[in-house]
Amino acid sequence: MDEGTGGARVGAGDAVRFAFGTLSVVPVRVERWDRAAAAGGMAVAPLVGVIVGAVAGGVGAGLHALGASALLAAVAAVAVPAVLTRGLHLDGLADTADGLGSGKPAAQALDIMKRSDIGPFGVVTLLLVLLAQVAALTACYGHGWVYALASAVAAAVSGRAVMTLAARRGVPAARPGGLGAAVAGVLAPRVAWAVAAGCAGLAAAAGVGFHGLTWLRFLVAAAAAVVCAELLLRRCRTRFGGVTGDVFGALCETAATAAVVVLSLR
């Protein structure tokens, strides 16, 4: 697999290991950490979303089947991705919010994002996003566990698809070092957009199994995820000069939230 970086080819196994090794707690050994491996890993990042979303939706569905309320099922479904990613993306969301809200010059804002503590902007953003996710999934479980499971998977995949998009050429790293610099600009734009379009198509296909125009709602959810993430990405590029690992996490959570909110509107 060669993703247009000009580096050595990378096998599917190396790509998958890079994706799961950097974006989840799945115990895999990342044997390559070069640009080609990063390109392959970011190209298959939505696969991580499939697993994370399936486990999250499945845990919630299991609780719901045992008699738990839709709210409790939703809380569990939101908690699972945090566990499976060690809270990495949520931490990135909070740090990005602090950086954007600081009003400081880019270099100082990036320093704020590197701190281990979370400021007021991060706390409020984290709280509102988690509440939105729980509320949206509660509505989804109210329409049945199958729909909620499909929604959880679609949201998780959408979150990783926008990470693939953010790794396209033309999107620079805000600073050297870290995951952001390792994956920034590793994918040809046509590859990144093809992955995003493919994920949207699969989301629509998942909605075909439900009645009426549900397939269109899944397609709109995937599109909304991309639009919201691209708006945030543009803001981060203007504010910080590029992307960081925190920005990738923020994009993921923003997209997933946008998608599941749309899917809750039945």
pLDDT of 124-170, one tens digit each? Answer: 999 999 999 999 999 999 999 999 999 999 999 999 999 999 999 99
Confidence (pLDDT) at 33: 80
| Residue (of 88, 89, 99) closest to 121 by Cα position | 99
Question: Tens digit of pLDDT for each residue in 45-103?
Answer: 999 999 999 999 999 999 999 999 999 999 999 999 999 999 999 999 999 999 999 88
C-alpha span between 101 and 99 (Å, rounded): 5
d(CA 153, CA 95) in angstroms, rounded, equals: 25
SS3 16: helix
Q: Is 188 helix (H, G, I), strand (E, B) or coil?
A: coil
pLDDT of amino acid 76: 97
Residues in the chain: 266
Packing angle, helices 189-207 and 145-166, rounded to 10: 170
Query: How much is the pLDDT for 8?
Result: 64
The highest-confidence range among 2-6, 7-11, 95-99, by mean pLDDT, is 95-99
